[in-house]
A and B are shown apart, each in its own frame.
Chain A
């Protein structure tokens, strides 16, 4: 395989620019910064851009902009600078999100702790003390992938899907956390429950979190969480990061 970054097709109308094969801090920064640069270019024929954990994505109209031309434009932009040295996006914030770990609200804490080689108490301490960063928003609206957790949490997804986890569920796999914005089936292990609402289509700012934001999942109890459900932010607090 050639050196990163690599440019590959995604379907007949998509181009994926990947900065690494595995998640790393520099590759994630590169993906976020390169997507911002693509957006700023505003090339004719480009219909939409996004970033994932280590890649930027371009959807384009191949009848207006040929693959060859777009590939060349993307390569020229890649050559402009060292994207791995890019800064994190501006306007970042730090969120504290009250979370119930385990109990019948988050029934997979025990098995996830075991997979990580930790006791349940150690697992809760590890997860609630970690200050993780929104690496990308994806899968469902407003839904963050957060990392990176300590190495013990490099546990695989389950082979069988959990048929349903509720909105606000916190799940773990692959040294990452996902905080679910909708009720969904998943292969990730459900270790915590929050009352946060990440996507509200009818309010002026429908998406709560942004890539680059930092998050800590602080422990709370079932009764307190129940009271926080009336708050759209689920009791989460937010402060600006310099």
Chain B
């Protein structure tokens, strides 16, 4: 019998996400998937499984969860306060969630999107080849209290592992490349874009993030009559009043508002994770620098399994000490036998 994870209480932005649904761009359906794909890769590395498995994405805050069998879980992305039966569960780490135990995940203390990955992955019927909810397309739905998620068979492995995540939870400098509409903007507008300190607006979702600044808007002549053209995640779209939006995983596939530049895929999690009010700055890099940055990020992702180390737990904080056990023949580690 397969395991299930029941949602006892759900924050307002819980969805099932994986790497998305490529192949339907020509039919107007964007790839979607997790807004912080690195966090999925981190969760997969902690559990020793492929990053193609689906996890629960939590926007802003988490919820309360209970499993009907022992599950291995990993908590990644925006740091949230997590407890298993009242004992603190360290973020950016893997844990055993014993059958019947309550996992509660509170509001984000750094970043915007947290991820709950499960050994074996979240199942459910794929739609057009993926399990990701794509809410703007009407695929899937927000998770709510009472939902029961089927969990895939877990190949097993260690829990109680942690790592140091790439810092991407407080805004900062974002690298962008010129796109095919960048030269619609005058050179001094591009200079001003790079000199401006933007703040992430509270208005943000899986489609995109609105940017605020104190200066005037950014403008092109004839901006309202540009032919609708292909859009990619990371595009910085400038709407009619001159406000830039950075488009994320669930963006539209074409659009008529001009794009002033495109964020590198490896820097996009930093935009998605920036909390409301965080500073964001943009810097143009060459295509070669952009490809080099993507290569470095891919290498860092591939090295994640080697970056893991055992959690050093404080036994005094482990109210459920006796419930800790190893599953599927993992090798005993010091902190598990304290």
Interchain CB contact under 8 A, A63 and B26: no
List of A residues within 8 angstroms of B290 by Cβ: 12
Q: Decide yes or no: A201 and B128 within 8 Å by CB, A139-B254, A140-B136 being known contacts.
A: yes
CB of B143 to closest CB in A, whole Å = 18
Interface-side segment among B6-14, B72-80, B221-229: B221-229
Interchain CB contact under 8 A, A159 and B232: no
Number of A-B contacts (CB under 8 A): 148
List of A residues within 8 angstroms of B262 by Cβ: 10-12
List of A residues within 8 angstroms of B229 by Cβ: 16, 52-53, 55
Interchain CB contact under 8 A, A10 and B230: yes
A145 at the B interface (CB under 8 A): yes
A67 at the B interface (CB under 8 A): yes
A residues 33-65 near B (Cβ < 8 Å) are 35, 47-55, 57, 59, 62-63
Interface of A is mostly: loop
Per the bound structure, the CA–CA distance linking A51 and B22 in Å amounts to 15
B23 at the A interface (CB under 8 A): yes
How many residues of chain B are within 8 Å of chain A by beta carbon?
Answer: 45
List of B residues within 8 angstroms of A51 by Cβ: 26
Per the bound structure, the CA–CA distance linking A199 and B26 in Å amounts to 13
Contact of B22 among A47, A139, A187, A199 (CB under 8 A): A47
Interchain CB contact under 8 A, A11 and B227: no
Interchain CB contact under 8 A, A11 and B177: yes
Contact of A141 among B22, B137, B264 (CB under 8 A): B137
B25 at the A interface (CB under 8 A): yes
Size class of the A contact interface (CB-based, 8 Å): 35 or more
List of A residues within 8 angstroms of B264 by Cβ: 11-12
List of A residues within 8 angstroms of B23 by Cβ: 48
CB of A6 to closest CB in B, whole Å = 9
Residues on A close to B: CB < 8 A? Answer: 8-14, 16, 18, 21-23, 35, 47-55, 57, 59, 62-63, 66-67, 136-143, 145, 156-161, 174, 181-182, 184, 187, 199, 201-202, 206-207
New contact pairs (13) apart from A48-B22, A138-B253, A206-B27, CB-CB < 8 Å: A9-B178, A11-B262, A13-B232, A14-B230, A16-B230, A47-B22, A52-B228, A53-B228, A137-B27, A138-B228, A140-B137, A140-B253, A207-B28
> What are 12 A-to-B residue pairs whose CB atoms are below 8 Å?
A9-B177, A23-B227, A48-B31, A52-B254, A53-B228, A59-B232, A136-B254, A139-B228, A160-B241, A184-B136, A199-B29, A201-B138
